[in-house]
Amino acid sequence: MTANIQAGIRPQIRDLETQQILQVSRLALDDPSVIPLWYGESDVTTPDFIKAAADDALAAGHTFYTHKHGIPELREALGRYTAGLYGVDMAMERITVTSSGMTGIMMLMQMLIDAGDNAVLVGPVWPNAQATVEIMGGEPRNAPLRFGNEGWTFDLEAVTAQCDERTRVIFVNSPGNPTGWMMRREEQQALLDHCREKGIWIVADEVYARIVYDRPVAPSFLEIADPDDPVIVINSFSKAWAMTGWRLGWLTHPERVAPFIGNLIEYNTSGTATFLQHAAVTALRDGEPFVESMVEHCRRGRAVIGDCLSALPRVRYRSPDAAFYAFFAVDGMDNSLDFAKRLVHEAKVGLAPGTAFGPEGEGWLRLCFARAPETLEEAVDRLTPLLK
């Protein structure tokens, strides 16, 4: 007799789709002949000075439970980092360390979304945020960016048209994954005005804030929001410090919600690995030259990919201002998930299908260019027969 594997599983969990990027990557995750450009990470390992700081912290015995909101040294360091970057005061009471940006998003939806509520997501966007809304029994609503000659642009009306009395959250990810879109200051202000008036939370995912090409840092909601505004910013050590495998992020939030977030930390993770947090203090203190080198690495990758993709007649692509993704449309490709699977088998290159990022991503593919130029050239050589 076969057991009903769905028995007793909440419908919200039972019905979750396996993330489409994983549907592609699991075809060949351990196959070294495939060039893996499907995930959002570089080929650079965490720099030695950060790894050494983790070793030292372990050797010093930082192996115990610790403060739920993060060790005070790291929260203070993040406060100073934020103040330095944006020229704002940032008390450590407004900062909570999380075991990754992803966990931060999940806990925020646990805090804000009740069954029957909805969250408006500005997309195309990284799929995991939508899934967190679904897990809570909420309804994710899509507010599309516009694509035109200027690339991707924000459409406030598309957002407000999706809002009603059950809207609790507007999730906005700038610089954006997969588009590389960067929200302008006036657009942030207009959205903040709307959310202040309606009492809706802005959950601003700014994990790519440092991966920008023509300015030191992307505009942040932290520059315009008052400390008590309904704004929570998600950040992460993953991208700019090459620490994807460490699972380390942080939230910046109004002080009044700190007790609720503290409880959610207790009941989700009970805190973030102590020795990793000590290493993160070092990453912030000594990491600026590394962050700059990471941006240069991505800039080189962006140039290689831009040259190659613009030579392909079926491909429509505009070089992004930020983040490390080429998001491009392919004429005649009507099922990006199937096509991405085919590319794994036939070209030995792993890309993310556009539909992973919402329905408007059909016809598009995402390629992560945070890689060595030789790797990217080889990838494009392999892709060309299938894309030209």
Ligand X SMILES: Cc1ncc(COP(=O)(O)O)c(C=O)c1O
Binding site for ligand X (CB under 6 A): 40, 100-102, 126, 173, 177, 205, 207, 236, 238, 244, 249
Measured CA to CA, the distance from residue 90 to residue 45 in angstroms comes to 30
What strands, in cross-sheet order, belong to the sheet with 325-330?
315-316, 325-330, 364-368, 352-353
User: What's the sign of the alpha-carbon dihedral 174, 179, 182, 186?
Assistant: negative
Q: Residue 237 CB, nearest distance to ligand X (Å)? A: 7
What are the percentages of helix, strand and coil residues in the chain, rounded to 5?
45, 15, 40
Measured CA to CA, the distance from residue 62 to residue 58 in angstroms comes to 5
Measured CA to CA, the distance from residue 19 to residue 135 in angstroms comes to 13
Residue with smaller CB distance to ligand X, 205 or 321: 205
Residue with smaller CB distance to ligand X, 178 or 230: 178
Q: Residue 247 CB, nearest distance to ligand X (Å)? A: 7
Spatial neighbors of 31 by CB under 8 A, at least 6 apart, are none
Q: Residue 249 CB, nearest distance to ligand X (Å)? A: 4
Q: Residue 111 CB, nearest distance to ligand X (Å)? A: 17
Q: Residue 7 CB, nearest distance to ligand X (Å)? A: 31
Residue with smaller CB distance to ligand X, 126 or 275: 126
Q: Where are the alpha helices (H) located in the chain, listed in sequence order? A: 11-14, 20-25, 48-59, 72-86, 101-112, 128-135, 156-160, 185-198, 258-268, 274-286, 288-310, 336-346, 373-387
Q: Residue 248 CB, nearest distance to ligand X (Å)? A: 7
Residue with smaller CB distance to ligand X, 134 or 205: 205
Residue with smaller CB distance to ligand X, 39 or 386: 39
- Torsions phi, psi for 194 (to 5 deg): -60, -45
Residue with smaller CB distance to ligand X, 177 or 387: 177
